[in-house]
Amino acid sequence: MSEQTSAIDHLLAGLIDYAGLYPPAALNMRSAVRNYLGYSRSKHSGVLGRFVVDLDRLHELWAVADDSICNLRLSIIALPAASWPNLRHLLDDGVPIESIEAKAHSPSEIERITKLIPAGITTYFELPISSAEPQALDAIAATAARVKLRTGGLVAEAFPPSEAIANMLKALAHRRIPFKATAGLHHPIRSRYPFTYAPDSPIGTMHGFVNLFLAATLLYLGGTLDEANQLLNEEHPEAFSISPEAIAWRSFHWTSAQLRTVRKEFAISFGSCSFEEPIHDLEALGWLP
């Protein structure tokens, strides 16, 4: 991006990893691939990140995408028992894998998996927000891997409290470990929303992705846990203001350059089964043209 790119553009650049294959959208492969390719040519293509797919569905993806697979940027979700050595073979065959997302909680498992990932692929380890061991974070920092945070789900109990998110973000910022988030982040600002697209879906409080990524920015640049917790809990859109040069929340403001740095070094992306819903919400707020 050029120096003329606005603050909101830096906040949103490549922010949404499209996970249309997963609930609550749960699209079939053909629909998800068609959507991703369409979004990559849309007005807001700059907000689009990677296409998220399970490792054991790559053959299905290849059959559906065919020659278009080279236009996908893949983030692969793999189980601990997955066949990790096959990744080099997939790369040699032209599968555009950018990152791997896996679960591993012990330092020894983190080190073992990291050694199996070919050079050039970024590894994200999903850790429980409320109970991650410091030793696991230290191991991830030592291997230059990254962390994946689950911030919601299909039921109220799946959403971690803001205090737990703030504590985890603080621990990551202290160690300079980059992270991505996933689940429950369809909307920019924290509020009450339906958890799924079903007509009878339960409604509850969901975290906002703008809240989350600005809280990460605040902590990465030296803010306090209390300030981050207040920001994560903010439910009033009017508390935020957007200008070409900066984004502000109450008495805080972050310049375009600061946002660019934090997004590049720390707060990487979030997975969402919808690309259109976050975009529509941002447009409704007047934050996207």
Secondary structure E strands in the chain? 16-18, 48-54, 74-77, 97-103, 122-126, 146-150, 179-182, 191-194, 203-206, 240-242, 246-249, 252-255, 267-272
What is the predicted pLDDT for the residue at 2? 42
pLDDT score for 207: 98
Average the pLDDT over 34-62 and give the result.
Answer: 96
pLDDT tens by residue, 64-96: 998 889 899 999 998 765 556 677 888 888 889
Q: Average pLDDT over the chain, rounded to whole?
A: 94
Partners of residue 181 on adjacent β-strands: 149, 270
Contacts (Cβ under 8 Å, ≥6 apart) of 27: 20, 21, 35, 273
pTM for this structure? 0.95
Q: Which pLDDT value is given to residue 88?
A: 81
Q: Which domains does the chain have, with CATH numbers?
A: 7-284 (3.20.20)
In this structure, what are the phi and psi dihedrals at residue 211, rounded to the nearest 5 degrees? -55, -50
**Residue 84: per-residue pLDDT:** 63
Nearest CA-CA partner of 149 in 84, 232, 86, 221: 232
Q: pLDDT confidence of 1, banded at 50, 70, 90?
A: very low
Which pLDDT score, from 0 to 100, does residue 83 have?
A: 59
- Establish whether the linkage from the previous residue to 199 is cis, with ω within 30° of 0: no
* The pair of three-digit structure tokens given for residue 152, joined into one six-digit string: 């919601």
Distance between CA atoms of residues 156 and 23, nearest Å? 15
Residues 100-125: pLDDT tens digits? 999 988 899 999 899 888 889 999 99
Predicted pLDDT of residue 166: 98
Q: What integer pLDDT is reported at residue 216 of this predicted model?
A: 99
pLDDT bucket at 3, cuts 50 / 70 / 90: very low
Residues 141-156 have pLDDT tens digits of: 999 999 999 999 999 9
